[in-house]
A and B are shown apart, each in its own frame.
Chain A
Amino acid sequence: MHPTDEGTEVANTQGAGGSKISPGKAGAPALAVEHLTKRFGDRVAYSDVSFEIGYGEVFGFLGPNGAGKTTTVRTLGTLIAPTSGSAMVAGMRLSAANGPAIRQKISIMPESPGLYLRLTVEENLECFAGLYGLGGTKARIHEALEAVNLLERAKDLCGALSKGLRQRVALARALLNDPEVLFLDEPTSGLDPVAAREVHELITGMRERGVTIFLTTHRLEEAERLCDRVAILNTTLRMIGRPDELRKELFARTLDVRTKVPLADPGAVFSGLPGVEGWSDSGAAMYRLEVSDPEAAAPGVARALVRAEADVVSIAESRHTLEDVYLQLVGEEERAERK
């Protein structure tokens, strides 16, 4: 795990939308997990997982199928007892005795909406408001439906709704108890791009309302767009941090240079330039330069290319996506397992 990403960093991280992440009540994190492990017999679901999440943070939990993401969510939601380790959830110690109290303060939206299809949207929410023992049911239902733009479908049977709309109802259900921590388990799984975008907008809206969100997802662009920090799990936690930090951590910073025709002697052009630590061919008339600081090195590279009378097409800093980070960490392991 990234050594600098726990504890103090939580309080100082800037949200993706520029909002400051709050350490929450009396400085306590919304979630604090220490060396959590879950085994089913001989099979390890996840092992030695530790992290902290501040109040108001959107935290992405990434990993391949079977990595232990859903089991981690179920553990933190008190549905499954950990084999070892400890955790604080919404300010309470994770234990069977605290289960009902913890569940009162959190919500989990499972991958499958799990709605009662013969009941209307309103009846579904009414049932869950009752299960939470909430007062002012009608107002809460109205507020939750308004938050997911579903007021006009309140009287519709859930069985008559599209998958995207059902997902929205499930989100409204998860908002009923005004949770301190909201777990979203693959909220856009199986949704078309339009429906997925709607869910993204809802998550952004919830972030703006200050809800702490724990988002498990396969969609890396989703995590990159929505999350303040991400963790990559493959039974054990491989990395944790802000997406840009992970990129820096995993990948050397590089400049991609493209010329109209291949350079006659690229070594003579790039070697010894200030800030350039090495270079390699990356295709026909394309070169990748390892640099310590792309902005400082680029002007020198441009001048060297002009001196060499090269026809420069572009000089750009390489962009590594979260997908590159993920594939670097997880892809290698998956390929090795398949062999």
Chain B
Amino acid sequence: MSPSWTRIWAMSKKELRDYRRNRFVVVTMAVMPLVFTVAPMIQLFAIKVNAASSAFNARIGLALLYMLIIPAIVPSSLSAYSVVGEREQGTLEPVLITPIGSQEFLFGKALAAFLPTVAISYAVFGIFLAAARIFAQPVVASAIYSGSHIWVQLVFTPLLAGWSILVGIAISTRSADVRTAQQLSVLASLPPLVVVGLITFNVFHASVGITVALAVALLVIDRFGWRAVAAMFDRERLVTGGRS
């Protein structure tokens, strides 16, 4: 059966409506980006222009790394909740009784976490860039706007969000309770962030080739990881509570 966008969108739309009315989700989605907007701003204004080149780059790198924490962390709790949360609140079985396929269900959930995450991440980055241009010292602003920084942010934001959602949903399909799923998925969302952090800190130089290779690797994992996650989605186990 080919995937139905009607079913996928029905699931995503339900999720988005549910997020909007869930105080925990609204607070998570508002407070975390706020923290990760304020913290890099402080970094930005604390940078001493006359500092050593390595210290200068490290400060810039740290400020930009905060930006990439948003797409890695924000969707992890949403995606961790996606399956086990529905199971806990007793809404999973009615959904599984409909003709929706495993991939449609999971993709609908993923899309609902992906869209606001990417929108928030880009918005925060836009604010950061504007603040840098307007308020930071010209040398600092110039350092942020030059090189691969902006491209790294633009490319890796959706890829990191994709990874975080993928592992979050995978953990959610296998977890027995929401709390465990959320803790594990926050941890599991971090490894690619370390790699991107190394680039951002200029630990190794992010040539176009390396950046593209990393991006492609994440893209491949995000794309084909879904098959593995869909295979883990066992209706019988989810409905019977793991007796199958």
Contact = CB atoms under 8 A, between A and B. Distances in A.
Given A40-B243, A127-B10, A130-B6, A79 B93 contact: yes
Given A119-B14, A119-B18, A123-B14, A128 B94 contact: yes
Among A79, A81, A126, A173, find the residue whose CB has the most chain B CB atoms closer than 10 A.
A79
A81 B243 CA distance: 12
Interface of B: 1, 4, 6-7, 9-11, 13-14, 17-18, 21-22, 89-101, 235-236, 239-240, 243-244
A170 interface: yes
Contacts of B243: 40-41, 43
Dominant SS at the B interface? helix
A267 B171 CA distance: 76
A132 interface: yes
Contacts of B97: 77, 79, 103, 107-108, 110
A110 B86 CA distance: 14
Interface in A49-80: 71, 74, 77, 79-80
A123 B10 CA distance: 10
A118 B95 CA distance: 16
Interface in A118-140: 118-119, 123, 126-133
B93 A40 contact: no
A34 B4 CA distance: 33
Q: Is the interface of A mostly helix, strand, loop or mixed?
A: mixed
Nearest to B242: A40
Contacts of B11: 127, 130-131
Interface residues of A, number: 35
Contacts of A71: 240
A123 B244 CA distance: 33
B98 A131 contact: yes
Contacts of A128: 10, 94, 98
Interface string A31-42: 000000000110
Q: Of B1, B11, B90, B93, which is in contact with the most chain A CB atoms at under 10 Å from its CB?
A: B93
Nearest to B11: A131
Nearest to A129: B10
A74 B244 CA distance: 13
B17 A119 contact: yes
5 pairs of A and B residues whose beta carbons are closest in the complex: A130-B10, A131-B98, A118-B21, A127-B14, A100-B99
B106 to A, nearest CB: 14
A130 B13 contact: yes
A116 B244 contact: no
Contacts of A14: none
B239 A130 contact: no
B185 to A, nearest CB: 22
A132 B98 contact: yes
Given A114-B89, A116-B91, 15 more contacts: A40-B240, A40-B244, A43-B243, A80-B236, A80-B244, A101-B99, A107-B97, A108-B94, A113-B90, A119-B21, A127-B14, A128-B94, A129-B10, A131-B11, A133-B6
Nearest to B101: A100
A112 interface: yes
Contact of B96 (A79, A119, A129, A132): A79
B235 A79 contact: yes
